[in-house]
């Protein structure tokens, strides 16, 4: 996987967006977006990453993964992520029992 700045740049280029346009779509300050491209200052918060993924209309996972190798695995991962903490605990317990 390319670094985060490269991935975001790629997504911006695909859409013809500038950093200012991404900031506007994500509801972020343009300085926040510009800092993503500065390796010394790049330390985005989780909320910033979620806002960027939402602006691109992709999942947070897709922000970090260029292509999905196994669509079924990815779909399962997305469904698992959407579960409540209690449901995740139950599934984790059951999976451990299978070992």
**50 and 18, same structural domain?**
yes
Averaged over 71-88, what is the pLDDT?
74
Q: Return the closest-CA partner of residue 58 out of 1, 14, 20, 3.
A: 14
pLDDT score recorded for residue 4: 86
Q: Is the pLDDT of residue 17 over 90?
A: yes
How many CB atoms sit inside 10 A of residue 52's CB?
27
Token readout for 36 is 């993503």
**89 and 46, same structural domain?**
no
Residue given tokens 């029992």 in the structure block: 97
**97 and 57, same structural domain?**
no
Averaged over 89-95, what is the pLDDT?
83
What global pTM score does this model have? 0.63
pLDDT in tens, 23-78: 999 999 999 999 988 877 778 899 999 999 999 998 888 888 765 555 555 567 67
**52 and 10, same structural domain?**
yes
What is the total count of domains within the chain?
Answer: 2
**72 and 54, same structural domain?**
no
pLDDT score recorded for residue 1: 37
**53 and 31, same structural domain?**
yes
Structural domain for 79, as ranges: 68-99
Rounded Cα distance, 36 and 51, in Å:
13
CATH number at residue 37: 1.10.260.40
């Amino acid at each position: 996987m390319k670094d985060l700045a490269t991935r975001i740049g790629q997504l911006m280029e695909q859409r013809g967006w500038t950093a200012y346009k991404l900031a506007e779509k994500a509801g972020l300050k343009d300085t926040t977006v510009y800092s993503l491209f500065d390796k010394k200052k790049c330390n985005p918060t989780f909320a910033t990453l979620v806002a960027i993924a939402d602006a691109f209309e992709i999942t947070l996972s897709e922000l970090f993964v260029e292509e999905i190798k196994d669509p079924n695995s990815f779909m399962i991962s997305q469904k698992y992520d959407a579960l409540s903490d209690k449901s995740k605990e139950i599934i984790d317990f059951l999976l451990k029992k299978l070992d």
